[in-house]
Structure 1
């Protein structure tokens, strides 16, 4: 069993793209469950050797004109069918036939792909129309995602493409987009930043704190006190035991409290 056979089998059996490190992990993991010499020998394979085998397999499939090919994209290496055979393969999966994206959705997706991360307002400035429904469609399809918030007033959300976008279009990185360098240099319209509200000036009457009721009472009492201490002769909370009114109240108002008249006992 050679390294090429094992790598080819892993690619054929995997349901997702494989990175070289994934293949190395599978080789080392297999050695933990087998004592056979070929398995142990393959577990010592280096990453450079994996890369060479992948390149050889891709060149071999292209030279032989197979109905499948080995494709590398951002998620790793994956065996895929020849696009020329798509019309027949689609008949095997009629229930999972993907819905085509509309022209507005493709235009919006292209703007995000070339100018990411980008805000919704900037996308609308380029297209000249609202893109709420289109953006939701792209989010539901998993082609774009929220990438954070922009450091501008209002902190709008930023959007960028996803790993599914890279796999769907067979891209290894964003530099493989058609005319990526040229289109990124083109000046596009941008949304005007939202103006920050101007601070309001408070009037003196609004900014000055209202005096506390307790401080007002103490100040009034201090004016009538010749000693200037501002302290009443008896506590404000206290009451005259022979009068029904609080003693402190009479002192603050500057008037003497009325004295109760004695009552006569009636037979």
Structure 2
């Protein structure tokens, strides 16, 4: 297959998906095309967007490829959508930061770091699909472990957890967020509640961290909304039961992939 046609097919697939699509998934659709050919075509497609001043960019996000609107056009998109994005509170931002940099982590560990009860905040983050239940810790009471989700990476425009800013950069982001909060400015937005489900790749999401250095976090345009909040509580309960069932089947706890030794991670909010 010639590259021009392959790029056109990839573009249509990514546009229709409206969410990050992995190389493996693209390969399953284009089974006659090699992995190397796919990579070259995706790189060429991304270069086409970048060089021609297009309003859309092709980016690697959350382990896949996604078409995204460019951050500089966010004001126009917000005007078109005519909806004010919900503000992420500082408590949500703080809690998500702790989960991101120290995952998997338990609620008692989070509360020890924050110094306040965090049950309600964690529930909100679960509802927004920014964190998930990742198993249970082998400790008295076997508390639940929390970790970030692919949606977390997608909302903040991160390729993977290694793309998190270092702690010094995050502290600067948090300081800027505090200043914005004190002035009554919106801190961060949760795209899942703003983006229209019928506009793949065209909806926008951004985090307003003032003049904070992490531009990739502060000015991301995102894909359509995913799940409704209505199905969440059932999902959360199911995750907890799954963690219990897996642990009892093996005679031990089964937390999700242990990110504890990874570079301490980052935060977002609701």
The bucket for the TM-score relative to the shorter chain is 0.5 to 0.7
The equivalent residue for 1:174 is 161
- Residues 90-239 of structure 1: pairs in structure 2 closer than 5 A: 90-94=78-82, 97-179=84-166
SS across alignment from 2:57 = strand
Residues 1:61 and 2:49 are matched in the alignment: yes
Answer whether contact 1:18 1:77 (CA < 8 A) is retained. yes
Q: 2:74 aligns with which of 69, 81, 86?
A: 86
Task: Tell me the matched-pair count.
Answer: 170
- Unaligned 5+ segments in structure 2 are 171-261, 265-270
Q: Which has the larger radius of gyration?
A: 1
Q: 1:3 aligns with which of 3, 6, 13?
A: 6
SS across alignment from 1:88 = helix
- Unaligned 5+ segments in structure 1 are 29-43, 187-267
Using CA pairs below 8 Å that are at least 6 residues apart, which structure has the higher relative contact order? Answer: 2
Q: Encode CA deviations 1:98-124: one digit per residue, 9 max, x unaligned.
A: 412101100100010010000111111
Q: 1:17 aligns with which of 16, 20, 30?
A: 20
- 1:180–1:22 Cα change, 3 Å: farther
**Distance in 1 between residues matched to 2:106 and 2:66, nearest whole Å:** 33
Q: Normalized against structure 1, the TM-score is what?
A: 0.58
- What is the deviation of 1:56? 1.6
**Distance in 1 between residues matched to 2:46 and 2:108, nearest whole Å:** 43
**Distance in 1 between residues matched to 2:41 and 2:92, nearest whole Å:** 39
- 1:73–1:185 Cα change, 3 Å: closer
Q: 1:74 aligns with which of 62, 65, 75?
A: 62
SS across alignment from 1:57 = helix
The equivalent residue for 1:49 is 37
CA RMSD of aligned residues (A): 2.3
